[in-house]
Amino acid sequence: MKNELIKRIISSIILIPSIFLIISAGSYFFNFFITICFLIISYEWFAMAKKKNYVFFGYLFLMFSFYSIYKLRNIYGEGFDFVLLILLICICSDIGGFLFGKIFKGPKLTKVSPNKTYSGVIGAYFLSIGSLFLLDNQNIIFNLKILDELNIYLFVILVSTVSQMGDIFISYLKRLSNVKDTGKIIPGHGGLLDRVDGMIFAFPFSYIIFLLITI
């Protein structure tokens, strides 16, 4: 657990500031970044699912997912905060789930992903909501008018749930394809798809929520 946790922490320390800078950069640089990510993840997806009949549907979903990221980032005046909020929820859900699952263990959540536990689910919610609470109380970020119609803590719970379900679903597909990781590009996480498996579901879900509350 110790070595795995250290790898995850180091990767997160590198990734989070890098992503923050990229999101805050101009639209051209951000669009270039997500295009590169899309190409890498598409390659990893093909390598994993090339012998399965769902490979084409996966590409369609990935295109919608990255389109959602692009549209959310370009929300006038609030795109930066909104994308950052979704990233924070997904990252905290991942770290909280990992820590609580390893420390408290307990009943397994599903056979599809043996490392997932009910304590991990609680940890994912705890760290996501706790992090937002601390930031919100300090008025650091996330003064989002687009969420006026939806309680922000309810939004956190929903996005965290979708992120965790996406993680489990990709684990299920990896089991079908008989692979442990989709790649080796990120130490401690495997492939890029392994790292963002929850995010590629959280962003389209958030985009749909955005469309519904702005109708």
Residues of the chain above pLDDT 70, percent? 82
CB atoms within 10 A of CB 90: 28
Cβ proximity of 85 and 142 under 8 Å:
yes
pLDDT, tens only, 117-161: 999 999 999 999 998 888 766 555 555 666 665 678 889 999 999
Phi, psi of 175 (to 5 degrees): -65, -40
pLDDT, tens only, 49-108: 887 878 889 999 999 999 999 999 887 667 778 888 898 899 899 889 988 988 888 888
Average pLDDT across the chain, whole number: 83
Q: Residue 147: its pLDDT value, please? A: 66
Cβ proximity of 62 and 201 under 8 Å:
no
Cβ proximity of 198 and 130 under 8 Å:
no
pTM: 0.87
CB atoms within 10 A of CB 19: 15
- One-letter amino acid at 193 equals L
In this predicted structure, the answer to whether residue 12 has a pLDDT above a threshold of 80 is: no
